[in-house]
Amino acid sequence: MAVPTGTSPPQKTLQAAAPEFDPEAPAVGKRPGPWPPRMEPLPPDHSYNPRALGTWARRTGYKSNMSGESASTASDVEIGLPDNTVNGNILPKGAQADQLPNRDLENGAHANGLKDHERLKPPPGLAATAVSPHPGGIPPNAVVFNPQKARASSDPEVINVVQNSGPFRAEPARAYKQDSEVDMMSQSQDADDALMNKHSHMKYEIRETPGLVPLVVYGIQHYFSIVGSLILIPLVIVPAAGGQDEDVAKVISTMLMVSGISTLLHSFFGSRLPLIQGASFVYLAPALAIIYLPKNFSRPADERFKDTMRDLQGAVIISSLFQIVVGYSGLMALLLRAINPVVVAPTVAAVGLAFFTYGFPYVGTCVEIGIPQILVVLIFALYLRRVSIFGHKIFQVYAVPLGLAIVWAYAFLLTQTGKYDYKGCNLDHPPRNGTVILPFPANCTDQIFTQTQCRTDISHALSKSSWFRVPYPFQWGSPSFDWRTGVIMIAASVIASVDSVGSYHATSLLVAARAPTPGVVSRSIGLEGLTCALAGLWGTGTGATTLTENVHTIAVTKMGSRRAVQFGATVLIVLSLVGKIGGFLATIPQVIVAALLVIMWTMLAALGLSNLRYSETGSSRNVLIVGLSLFLSLSVPAYFQQYDAEAAGGVNAPPYFQQFTVASHGPIRTSSTKLNEVLNTIFSLHMVIAFLVAFILDNTVPGSKQERGTYIWTKAMAARNEPAVMKDYGLPFGIGRFFTWVRWTGL
């Protein structure tokens, strides 16, 4: 609260010397001035570790008692403060920021040399209340200034303070947690797993450059930990589109290259956060829906794969234009006001829950391999997550790649020991009549199916792959543009943008000084559009956007340096040139792929729901919105998928992919067959229904900002006054100065 300015120019502050004050504790009023305050340089003779003071949390000694942001929403500096507020003071017209005193939080001194304990004490008669010490509470020497009583006081010394001290700020009374209160995240997660825990626990933060060895180790580790997101999607869509073993290898290599290039572009010209770009699961359902459109499924078998890939290329390119326009026009900065945790949580969760018909039904085709794969990953990720080897939580970080390696080796042993060699029904020795291969007898149907699902030598991708191959644009031919497939993929782009917004905010709280500005978010969405266009040109089959799983990896590994992510992206590009690597990964048995996807989709759904930690999860408003969104996201698509299913006609998809054939038999039946296919497909996508329900309800049902958990983005003016924020999000190589006029797409 600012007290009316007197005639005297000195600036003073009435605030207790409280070294244990929590700057983010909930406040009754608003915290004046931009937070954190501008930091003055330390004295030359002050010994300190630059890395240890690299972030606001380290400089101020901040240790969070809250897991979410809702507790600090009411007092956040960004709410209702003028842009000319600097270091807790409102600048007069024409005044410069360097005319105001600043506080050095490193040594507890102000610019005038006074220490905290030497600061102005409240005179007699000033309303101040001392609070008894208790853990997490207000220190014994803390005072709370009551300006109303100060103005009403008749004490001359008090009147002199109020009238002649100039502009000063009074710290508002704060509500502190008692010992009996339990942290919201700790009810379900320990400190090691809390995504929004203390900044100071990060080993390396966004602008820090590790040494050579940590750079290599952490850079490769970052990508290994989310290897499932990078390689599993091609193993699903290529066989569904009619591709052969060598086609799977080519798409995997292409995916690695596009992911590496997209990540480098995003780390330099996008959000600049250490987020990996790759084939998002958001695009998987629309891609499968396009694959099973009647026009694609009815094509000749030898032409179907390339024709379908060209359709996917055109659809991804069309959808990328949507993100480019929304991002670089600045429209995304306006849409951010309507995208909040209550919208993001059910939308992202529905992406993972949408594939429940594929997960375990496919695992059940070879239970002796599929179930062990799930169990091994769960044992590593949950039961052995606290085990450290040389200071690294190997099992928690590498649960998926380690589990894949172990079960794959186990399946290889089963194959080599003759577990699946059936006499008279062996794929290696088909019946022959001289040189003519005959079909297997009818009694071999079950044995042949088991061999196809369980054996590790079914795929010949490794032997057919070349050692060196450069993925190139238009490798499947020129893209085919169809407004039907384009509209379907645009729906995926909308959901991918919502997903990315949540990832930007969560990651910034872990590694950066402050959350990005709306302009930076808008710029990042625009760049995601460009990377999706690259994915369309190269022909990955899906778009390339931010991988949500990356947020969990950063929280677990404590590695927030973008240098490590950039190094890993470079390695990814190099690996994409080795054709044998793509061929080797393409030989992963499909049942292992399904088991790993069960874990990946589970993690995706959980990460989506974790966004609710910013809101009041006990609010009946939020509970009903999220619950209804999730339920309808499963129920409405089921209605579309079951409606007149017998009319599916020539689209003979496997049972676990039947949900993607709805275009040929959905309930929407207008005079336009093409429009019917588009609308039936879009409304059969789980994530679209979840987004529509949550978006409409959250933005129409009354609720406070704290109840909704509204995301707090840094204001552009405040960001430009803080060098740390400018270094975190500013464009590199000084090119930002050429775009200072484009405020809506940057700082």
Give the domain ranges of the chain.
1-181, 199-420+455-708
Q: DSSP readout, 350-401? A: HHHHTTTTTHHHHHGGGHHHHHHHHHHHHIIIIITTT--BTTB-HHHHTHHH
- The string of pLDDT tens digits covering residues 510-541 is 888 789 999 999 999 999 999 999 999 999 99
- The string of pLDDT tens digits covering residues 193-215 is 443 444 446 788 888 888 888 88
**Degrees to nearest 5, angle at CA 611 with 605 and 612:** 105
Q: Which pLDDT belongs to residue 633?
A: 95
- The string of pLDDT tens digits covering residues 449-469 is 788 888 888 888 888 899 999
* Two tokens, residue 531: 């990377």
For the stretch 651-690, what's the b/e string if a residue is b when 16 or more beta carbons lie within 10 angstroms of its beta carbon?
bebeebbbbbbbbbbbebeeeeeeebbbbbbbbbbbbbbb
Q: Which pLDDT belongs to residue 84?
A: 52
Q: Which pLDDT belongs to residue 234?
A: 92
**pTM of model > 0.85:** no
| Residue 719 scores a pLDDT above 80 | yes
What mean pLDDT do residues 265-283 have?
Answer: 92
Percent composition of the chain: helix, strand, coil (DSSP 3-state, to 5)? 55, 5, 40
- The string of pLDDT tens digits covering residues 53-97 is 455 444 555 444 443 333 333 333 333 444 454 444 455 545 544
Distance between CA atoms of residues 676 and 664, nearest Å: 8
- The string of pLDDT tens digits covering residues 225-261 is 778 778 889 999 999 998 988 999 999 999 999 999 9
Task: Report the chain's mean pLDDT, rounded to a whole number.
Answer: 77
DSSP assigned state of 354:
T
Q: Which pLDDT belongs to residue 115?
A: 45
| Residue 566 scores a pLDDT above 60 | yes
Q: What is the CA radius of gyration of the chain?
A: 29
φ, ψ dihedrals at 153, nearest 5°? -70, 145
Distance between CA atoms of residues 436 and 234, nearest Å: 34
Q: Which pLDDT belongs to residue 341?
A: 94
| Residue 138 scores a pLDDT above 70 | no
CB 573 within 8 A of CB 258: no
Q: Which pLDDT belongs to residue 289?
A: 92
Distances (CA, A) of 564 to 56, 560, 567: 21, 8, 5
- pLDDT band, very low/low/confident/very high, at 567 (cuts 50, 70, 90): very high
| Residue 12 scores a pLDDT above 50 | no
| Residue 23 scores a pLDDT above 80 | no
Distance between CA atoms of residues 508 and 526, nearest Å: 18
The H-or-E segment that residue 545 falls in is: strand 544-546
- The percentage of residues in the chain with a pLDDT greater than 90, rounded to a whole number, is 41
What mean pLDDT do residues 29-37 have?
Answer: 46
Q: Which pLDDT belongs to residue 45?
A: 46
CB 567 within 8 A of CB 210: no
* Two tokens, residue 216: 């290599």
| Residue 488 scores a pLDDT above 90 | yes
| Residue 682 scores a pLDDT above 60 | yes
Question: Residue length, the chain?
Answer: 747
- pLDDT band, very low/low/confident/very high, at 691 (cuts 50, 70, 90): very high
Q: Which pLDDT belongs to residue 78?
A: 39
- The string of pLDDT tens digits covering residues 306-328 is 999 999 999 999 999 999 999 99
CB 366 within 8 A of CB 520: no
